[in-house]
Structure 1
Amino acid sequence: MLKSPLGKLCKGNGTECVEAMRDELQGAKKVAAIGDMTAFYLLKSSIVPDLAVVDNKTKRAQLPDHILQSLEHNSYKRVEVKNPPATLTEELIDQIKDSLAGKERVKIVVEGEEDLATLPAILYAPPGSVVIYGQPDEGSVLVKATPEMKMYIDELMKKMIVEE
């Protein structure tokens, strides 16, 4: 179910996609970037996301040093959480929720994997916000945090297995 883009797919490389999305990004209440390369290309294009969720990897490979350094933007409060692959821990969900409700910019560094963080980011982003994530080997996806999308994500998350 999660292989298909949840929003508008922009095909191309990172900076091309950011330029194609620029109007929607600048008009958004908040911008959440899920994934290291997504956050990197936004920052490279002078757009600082309100929330960046990263794991210091791309396609499960370690990031080059210049990208890691670019992600160390000085406006971020840095928070570290554990989140195993193919999982959404309560800690990660709560941190995303709190970050999007707050006023400061937050970078959540995930030990494990951040791929599913898109779901709670959409669910908890204030209306009028956007969530950007990478679609591997295709481009970037922009999801508007509309009431309809939030309801869809809420129903989707309720179908996920909850482990204690």
Structure 2
Amino acid sequence: MSDVVLELPDALRADLKEPMGRLYTDSAALLADAGDPLVAVGDIVTYHLLEAGRVPDVALVDERTKRSAVDAAVSAAIEGFDRRVSVSNPAATLTRALLVAMRDALDGDGTTLVDVDGEEDLAALPAVLAIPDGGSVVYGQPDEGMVLVTPDDATRERVRSLLDRMDGDTEAALEAIR
């Protein structure tokens, strides 16, 4: 179930550096602007949202930040979710297991922590497409802050274009998150 559906080619990496939404350094300000449901991608983002008093509806974590293990205090603070699901997702990929876990979490009741063995960085892309209108996706922008994406048609089109340019089966990825 964890087969790779899409893989990020090196040529596309630069296109992912530009934030897809507004950059925040203050969790309270971000939460004031965030929609519902809320998807958090990354350990540090999830930690900051929890510290600000908000359990994301879906959080994807891999116990790493900037290629290093997260601080034990950060890891220990990531709790309070109704469910915990573990998936495998190698670096620079999107696996069927991650996509299905995200879809199931969004469709389910309560909150879900998706514990990723590998890397969760690219999960923000399908999250933008999977989240219903009015929802928000938050992901980290290394050394800058947190990016809040409340998807609109233009943002969804940008994400779809990025997924189309990845190596693999875009249609299978889209089917997994529908």
Give TM-score scaled by structure 1 length: 0.89
Q: Tell me how far 1:146 sits from its aligned partner.
A: 2.1
SS of the residue corresponding to residue 23 of structure 2 reads: strand
Deviation at 1:148, TM superposition (A): 3.1
Structure 2's unaligned 5+ residue stretches are 1-14, 170-178
Alignment of 1:95-134 (within 5 A): 95-134=101-140
Q: 1:22 aligns with which of 31, 34, 49?
A: 31
**3-state SS of paired residue (2:167):** coil
List gaps (5 residues or longer) in structure 1: none
* 1:52–1:108 contact (8 Å) kept in structure 2: yes
SS at match of 2:138: strand
Pair 1:6-2:12 in alignment = no
The separation in 2 between residues aligned to 1:29 and 1:148, in whole angstroms, is 19
Query: Are 1:84 and 2:90 counterparts?
Result: yes
Once structures 1 and 2 are overlaid, which stretch shifts more, 95-104 or 81-90? 95-104
DSSP 3-state at the match of 1:88: strand
Q: 1 or 2 for the larger relative contact order (CA 8 Å, sep ≥6)? A: 2
CA distance in 1 between partners of 2:64 and 2:82 (Å): 19
CA distance in 2, matches of 1:130, 1:120: 12
Amino acid at match of 2:19: P
Q: Per-residue CA shift, 1:120-151, capped at 9, x if unaligned? A: 11110111000001100111100002233223
Task: Give the one of 68, 90, 99 matched to 2:75.
Answer: 68
- Secondary structure at the residue paired with 1:110? strand
Give the partner amino acid of 1:50: D
Would the aligned equivalents of 1:101 and 1:126 in 2 still touch at CA under 8 Å?
no
RMSD: 1.6
Q: Give the TM-score, by structure 2 length.
A: 0.82
SS in 1 for 2:160: helix
Specify the code of the residue in structure 2 equivalent to 1:40. Y
Q: Which of 146, 149, 153 lines up with 2:155 in the alignment?
A: 149
